[in-house]
Amino acid sequence: MTEEGGRLGIRSRLGRWRDPRLGEPVGASGMQRDRAKEICWMRAQVLLGNIVVALCGLWVIVAARGALAAGEDPKGVEFFEKNIRPVLVAQCYQCHSASAKEIKGELRLDTREGLRKGGESGLAIVPGKPEESLLLKALRHEDGLEMPPNNKLPDSVIANFEKWIAMGAPDPRRPNVSTVGSKISIVEARKFWSFQPPKSVPPPAVKNSDWPRSEIDRYLLAAMEAKGVVPVADADRQTLIRRVYFDLIGLPPSPEEIESFVQDPDPKALEKLIDRLLAMPQFGERWGRHWLDVARYGESTSKERNLPYPYAWRYRDYVYDSFAQDKPYDQFIREQIAGDLLPAKNAQQRNEYLTATGFLAIGPKSLNTRNREQYRMDVADEQLDVATRAVLALSVACARCHDHKFDPIPTADYYAMVGIFRSTEVLAGVSPGNNRTGYDGELGRLVSTSGASGGPRSGLSAAERKQLAQLKVELEKARQELQELRTLARQNAASKGEASKAGKKAKANQLPPKQQQEAKRLVQHVAELQRQIEALESKSSSSSAGSGSEGEPVMAVRDAAVPEDCRIHIRGEVTELGDVVPRGYVRVLTYPQSPEVNPQQSGRLQLAMWMTSRQNPLTARVMVNRIWYHLFGRGIVPTVDNFGALGEPPSHPELLDYLALSFMEQGWSVKKMIRKLMLTRAYQLSSAHHEGNYQKDPDNTLVWRMNRRRLEAEAIRDAILAVGGNLDLTRPQGSPVQEISGEIGRRAKTDVLFRETRYRSAYMPIVRGLMPELLNLFDGADPELVTGQRDVTTVAPQALYLMNAPLVLEQSEAAARRILSDSRLTDDRARLNHAFLRILGRPPTPQQADDALAFLADFAQTMPPSTSPDQRRVEAWASLCQALIASAEFRYVY
């Protein structure tokens, strides 16, 4: 007996509540009585238990972060290479590196050790603590510190440094770190595993020939047998149907669907279930959302001026439809890279292809950039980065300022590829510079006329196109001459001991009089050339947009009026130009029949063909690895977004190649590949622990059991709404972002973004810098980054959300009323069984049923005497439903 009403206390009862499949607690101990809302003991204890778990999780995260010191997080290293190192090289090395004539302030920024050691003023950075880092104060020009002096960097660059320091300041620049060196041997580089074509290796022989159900199982079992590991038992049908439902459509099965599947005697019951779910439109939303993570889908520009993208949703819906229709993956990629250049059968297909190019238009953009050439290069760089990371899992953009430090990608290859995107115009509806609204940018237009080809169009005559090309050549020549004079002025200032004043803005008065006049003439000449070029390009844009019947606006891209090759930008600077590089591809991945870039086009069409060729060693491998990751919780290549030197090698290389070849042979069908994997015995394993296997393979690299996986934020919200019976599966028209006018965070009213709806979470507005609370709490994808693998954190605010969020409270009560009003449920045991099936996907154990019924009986004691019996029942069942929703078992797939 205990102090709680003479019955076995709720705390004791919860201590015995176990997930019967895993032996893990559904809830944990702890007590809190909320008198204002009369929250029951059971609910409070379960939720507070989650907080305890969350706090423990924080300790684990901190410990893990410290453990990364020896081997940097690949994502962090990529962030450093792309966003930090180029700035250090361009802005800081002149005064703070081994090559400087005098190291200012005894601070070196060209090595990891120097950066962390600091200089005369103290520690330059304190990893994990931006506000204590002097480097950040200097970049902000605070506390008398200025770096660079008299020339503050853009806010977006400073924000990147703040984010980098908060990440722990990952920095791979160590003496013992192997880099590719300044001379890259393409022949030698092609020996790296991911740059070699997939090889067909027959499935290996296995000892336990009764276990495999497919060739995939044989690859896995052979590796297990070699390590003395044995697979665990198969999952029960209740576990399996919940796993399949969430994996395919992101929704829980109903109690009726669970019972029907469990009782189905057909040995092909699982096949029938998989085929039925693959055919549902919800499959497209579930797997399309995975792709939107990779495509860094967002509905605003982000950066310093955050303007909404009112029409980004068209690309979102295109992605969902593509997965629902099982569009071949190679065609899916071609449409996104070069849809506007593909021949279309009719207007509908032309519109679809044009919408697909939103992939290149929806990225973040820095509209405060005054230098239009800098803006063009930044946009092209972002496009190249998302295309190569998403499709090839390579960080090609890290070669913008220097040869890639780890992969065989020279700077020349970067500018060969970026020239393709620099020859592409973005129709995003926004533009940089001094315009007051930022909205004078052009949008694409869908058409209603038949027979549209979708091919390249220009409103310029042949003579005007030639004139435009000549003007651009002349502009580049004038800029080069002007840059040479600026360099000379800098050198003159340095020789007079005025190096600190020279900087990048060297004044013409540092030149002899004759050269001063020449510099002034060149400045005027450059301005006039730019005016003439902009006038011709504006004419081309307006004519192209006006051809055919204009329809609804869409974010898209098109070829520039006169495509052109790009010069190497020394250290990434738009004013420091080197040799012209013909447009092309990463040489380590080229093959004898690589398509040549059409000089009359941007080269995106040929790039798309090159990426999706069967001879490209990466595209199929990367996609089947992404599919494997979403089904098994870990990729065959664990670093799903990096198949380069900083990534991890495949655990089963022959299996990866087998899947890549099979994927291509089956027409690049995502649905067929998913079905193939789900019907393996490996996918159908239990997630139960096995101590002997764990000792030999603690990370489950050999796939001897199914990995337990936490649901994504969207699936958690959808499941909560489904439990309450309030999930609306219809597709909304458009996006709430369309109702926003003006700059987000300043003039625009954004209340519409937080308006609660019952649509699937796949349709929630994704505004950069203003994400929905639930997505932030449960590790939603960062819409500014390619995210093939989301983080999974356990933090206290997650438990507080499940305790207090109106969504959870409302749907818990809705679920209770739904259960109590079901005439088929004639007693509380039947209702309890139904509640567990609906929320957790399984019936309660006998002990759990007894404890829950005792709780329901006790609940009346916590309610005011004036409460009606019906309301007491609703409150009791609502509290029980919320406790189940708050449990870890609800948020995980086993």
Residues 6 or more apart in contact with residue 348 via CB below 8 angstroms: none
Can you tell me the distance from the alpha carbon of 10 to that of 108, in angstroms, rounded to the nearest whole number?
61
- 18: β partners: 25
In the block, tokens 């458009």 appear at 734
In the block, tokens 């297909």 appear at 349
3-state class (DSSP) for residue 424: strand
Half-sphere exposure of 165 (CA within 13 A, CB side): 22
Identify whether the C-beta of residue 843 lies closer than 8 Å to the C-beta of residue 6: no
- Separation in Å, CA 144 to CA 125, 358, 618: 17, 45, 50
Can you tell me the distance from the alpha carbon of 155 to that of 716, in angstroms, rounded to the nearest whole number?
35
Would you tell me the crossing angle of helices 604-611 and 411-422 to the nearest 10 degrees?
Answer: 120
Residue 384 phi, psi (nearest 5): -60, -40
pTM greater than 0.85: no
Can you tell me the distance from the alpha carbon of 765 to that of 308, in angstroms, rounded to the nearest whole number?
10
Task: For the chain, give the number of residues.
Answer: 894
- Which stretches of the chain drop beneath a pLDDT of 70? 1-72, 74, 101, 174-183, 433-441, 448-462, 465-466, 469, 473, 476, 490-491, 493-510, 537-550, 746-748
pLDDT of residue 53: 39
**All structural domains of the chain with their residue ranges:** 10-66+797-893, 74-166, 328-454+561-616, 462-544
pLDDT of residue 842: 97
Residue ranges with strand state E in 528-600: 550-554, 556-559, 566-569, 577-581
pLDDT of residue 529: 83
Tell me, letter by letter, the H, E, C secondary structure of 379-405: HHHHHHHHHHHHHHCCCHHHHCCCCCC
Identify whether the C-beta of residue 479 lies closer than 8 Å to the C-beta of residue 526: yes
The four Cα atoms 752, 758, 759, 761 give a dihedral, to 10 degrees, of 80
pLDDT of residue 747: 60
Tell me, letter by letter, the H, E, C secondary structure of 783-824: CCCCCCCCCCCCCHHHHHHHHHCHHHHHHHHHHHHHHHCCCC
Closest CA to 743 of 435, 425, 444: 435
Half-sphere exposure of 800 (CA within 13 A, CB side): 6
Can you tell me the distance from the alpha carbon of 370 to that of 422, in angstroms, rounded to the nearest whole number?
17
Would you tell me the crossing angle of helices 255-263 and 828-840 to the nearest 10 degrees?
Answer: 90
In the block, tokens 């965070």 appear at 745
For the chain, first and last CA: distance in Å? 36
pLDDT of residue 112: 82
Q: What is the pLDDT of residues 717-773, one digit of tens each?
A: 999 999 999 999 999 999 999 988 878 876 667 777 778 899 999 999 999 999 999
- The H or E element that residue 893 is part of is strand 892-893
Would you tell me the crossing angle of helices 869-886 and 796-804 to the nearest 10 degrees?
Answer: 160
Identify whether the C-beta of residue 104 lies closer than 8 Å to the C-beta of residue 124: no
Closest CA to 555 of 285, 356, 786, 784: 356
3-state class (DSSP) for residue 577: strand
- 892: β partners: 710
Identify whether the C-beta of residue 48 lies closer than 8 Å to the C-beta of residue 34: no
Closest CA to 153 of 90, 78, 98: 90
Q: What is the pLDDT of residues 237-291, one digit of tens each?
A: 999 999 999 999 999 999 999 999 999 999 999 999 999 999 999 999 999 999 9
Can you tell me the distance from the alpha carbon of 702 to that of 700, in angstroms, rounded to the nearest whole number?
5
Would you tell me the crossing angle of helices 372-392 and 604-611 to the nearest 10 degrees?
Answer: 20
Measured over the CA atoms of residue 660, residue 663, residue 669 and residue 670, the dihedral's sign is negative
- Separation in Å, CA 626 to CA 506, 641, 656: 50, 9, 11
What distance lies between CA 649 and its chain's CA centroid?
Answer: 21
Can you tell me the distance from the alpha carbon of 709 to that of 720, in angstroms, rounded to the nearest whole number?
17
pLDDT of residue 539: 65
